[in-house]
Amino acid sequence: MMQLYIANKNYSSWSMRPWLVLKAFELAFEEIQLNFPCERGEGDFKQRVLEINPNGKVPALLDRGRLVWDSLAICEYLAEQYPEQALWPRDAQQRAWARSISAEMHSGFTDLRSLCGMNIRANLAEVGAKLWQEHAGLRQDVARIEQIWATRPTVGGFLCGEFSIADAFYAPVVTRFMTYALPVSAESQQYMQLVMQHPAMQAWMQAALQEPMWVNYLEPYQSQV
């Protein structure tokens, strides 16, 4: 059975992406969670990850002796191993678009990433309003994401009609938009609700909300009570 190494569900957007793909397409795997330390550099997190993955990061997938790391590489590997599942759209034009927007998410939107880290448990609406006013780059990132979402085939559907790797790549963005209450259109909110209602997303969210771990360096806007 495949083994997927991930970090905390509350914070780790990169872990979320391949986990959602595995879960959504009902691919059998064992989840192994390695939690971030409370303070940066403490504990044995890095050492434990290095024992599995030489770049010292999660997610990482082990499958029959093969190691695959990086969320996009993992998803590409899964699509190759399970072609009958259509993890990418079957239509060539849709598949090219899905790959492009996933790669764009993988390498871009730096203002959104740096200012609005994934934190599913938090309610940071006031922080989000302040960030929105102060950072033009954040507003530009959100505008581009909304532009991508607006090109989906139907307003009430996923990015390529059916759930695919592309939706898994934008799922952490959905949680960020909600955590920070960033202002988006009604159509974007409709897409966000669709993603949130997916059973795989529901499973991840419920687990994230139940995690007791508090990671100080991933909580720049609030203190532990």
Q: What ranges do the domains of the chain cover?
A: 2-85, 92-208
On the question of a common fold for 2-85 and 92-208, the answer reads: no
- pTM for this predicted structure: 0.96
150-189 burial, b at 16+ Cβ within 10 Å, e below that, comes to: eebeeeeebbbeebbbbbbbbbbbbbbbbbbebebeeebe
Compute the average pLDDT of residues 203-208.
Answer: 98
Of the candidates 79, 81, 100, the residue with the CA atom closest to the CA atom of residue 90: 79
pLDDT for the residue 119? 98
pLDDT for the residue 223? 81
Tens digits of residue pLDDT in 100-127: 999 999 999 999 999 999 999 999 999 9
pLDDT for the residue 43? 82
For domain 2-85, give the CATH superfamily.
Glutaredoxin (3.40.30.10)
Q: CATH number of the domain at 92-208, please?
A: 1.20.1050.10
pLDDT for the residue 225? 56
pLDDT at 224 over 90: no
Do 26 and 35 meet the contact criterion of CB atoms below 8 Å apart?
no
Tens digits of residue pLDDT in 11-61: 999 999 999 999 999 999 999 999 999 998 788 899 999 999 999 999 999
Residue 181 falls in which region: left (phi positive, over 0), alpha (psi -120 to 50) or beta: left
Tens digits of residue pLDDT in 143-183: 999 999 999 999 999 999 999 999 999 999 999 999 999 99
pLDDT-derived band at 195 (thresholds 50, 70, 90) equals very high
